[in-house]
Amino acid sequence: MLTAIRRTDPAALRVAAVRWGDWPSVRSVFDAVTVGTVDHWVTRPVQAPDEEFHRSITEFLREWSSGRGGGFEPVQVTGERWSARSQELRDLFARHRIPAGFYDATSGPARQMLAELGLASPDLPVVMLRFGAGRPALVNPSNRQIADAFGVMTPIPPGEVFDLAVIGAGPAGLAGAVYASSEGLRTVVIEHEAVGGQAGTRSMIRNYPGFSQGISGARLAQETWRQAWTFGTTFLYMRQAESLSANNGHYRRRLSDGRVLTCRTVIIATGRRLPAARHPGPGGPAGPGGLLRRRGQRGTGHARPDRVRRRRRQLRRAGRAAPGQVGQPGDGPGPRAVAAGTMSDYLIREICAAPNVDVCYRVQVAGGTGTGHLQSLVLAGTASGARRSVPADALFVLIGSQPRTEWLGDSIARDRRGFIRTGPDLPAGTRWPPAARRCRWRPACPGCSPPVTCAADRSTESPPRSAKAPPPSPWCTATCTPPPLAATGR
């Protein structure tokens, strides 16, 4: 029954109720959750009132409501339906968990809203903020203008010296901010895109400690951000670090808005970027991650299994085909063998069990067709060269990644790919700081207080997976001494 209900309502959440003490049946429920036939489970109430039961149901309703959309819209975006910028803004607000309504500029409601704002033929998109004084309407704004208009950033007095500056608000950066600010350190976090990093785009993370029912990456990021904010962390949004230099025992970071921040310690947690999709087809080059994302449409993922999995899961819940194009179904060693070293077992089991997900091998995307937007893809076999056309409304290109460290220049040692060298990866003859020299295990220095640290995905040979356990597991910290800045691993 729970499996069939998705044909009636693709957005429905399926919850299995387990009787307290019926432990033999619990394992089958766990397996159903893993393969995606059930979304959650709950223990049946055994007394009245049963607040634990009601708390669980409330959480499930919150998740269902978040995925369903509708309700209060503090932000309304009017733009062209297939515009890359419109899709970028929708994705940006979703990753920040800001309820935003999108209105096609050709629709009646959109024309009415623009008329009420006195905008006859504005440059699109138009972003209207329905809160605060004046409820401003921003015409074709930059991300920085939107962030400034929200009014959540605390002004920084001239000459302010922070104890810790965190570059990047992914899981590692947010965790560092929580721990530092909870100890009373004056902490600032600079994020140029969206809080949560790659983990913030995960539809569901089930192996993060403390969340037996799993948690979405966006919600995990939001809760960690709130925790850091509550402890007093200062956040600067839509800003990029452009340089890092040492001066009189402090570090100075120049930001993309022209200001210079001074701090005593730096954590580099800038994450990785996906390269822009450059492929022949409608629309030309697309932004990082593909051409378009729309729930309920057919999507093709061309990527490593761990990266495309979250996109397939969203489309699978909507009941549409979501093939992962990596040959023909049945070719190759199978999804378990291919993905075993790149993703968790529970994710592999979920993909294998999904009836509308085809994992293919030895195929590459050779082209695309469509009028105004993507409608089909041309796939070519890498061995035979045979081509075939498949319908597709979206293409997710998630191949390869690059560290966001080019702004460091020569101030910190990096390898040829741009990853920061830490610990034993540093060149011979590196000058170690006094604190590191006092440690018995110099490459792993848990007792030091490093002035510059590096999160794992920025360090050499770090694993490219963001669904990790909480710190210290996702951390590879680096101690740097100017000049030149050198690093030791932690």
**Which structure tokens are listed for 373?**
């937007």
| 135-194 pLDDT tens trace | 788 999 999 999 888 888 878 888 899 999 999 999 889 999 999 999 999 999 999 888
Terminal C-alpha separation, the chain:
50
Cα separation, 186 vs 232, whole angstroms: 8
Cα separation, 39 vs 5, whole angstroms: 12
What domains are defined for the chain?
5-68 (no CATH), 75-150 (3.40.30.10), 161-273+402-458 (3.50.50.60), 299-398 (3.50.50.60)
* CA 377 remoteness from chain centre: 26
Helix, strand, coil in percent for the chain, rounding step 5: 30, 25, 50
pLDDT average, residue stretch 53-59: 90
For the chain, helix (H) and strand (E) counts, in that order, are 12, 22
pLDDT at 427: 65
Cα separation, 454 vs 470, whole angstroms: 15
pLDDT average, residue stretch 34-53: 86
Please state whether 143 falls in left (phi above 0), alpha (psi between -120 and 50) or beta. Answer: alpha
Cα separation, 175 vs 177, whole angstroms: 5
pLDDT at 207: 84
**DSSP per-residue string spanning 208-259:** STT-TT-B-HHHHHHHHHHHHHHTT-EEEES--EEEEEEETTEEEEEETTS-
Model's pTM, two decimal places? 0.74
| 336-353 pLDDT tens trace | 555 555 677 888 888 888
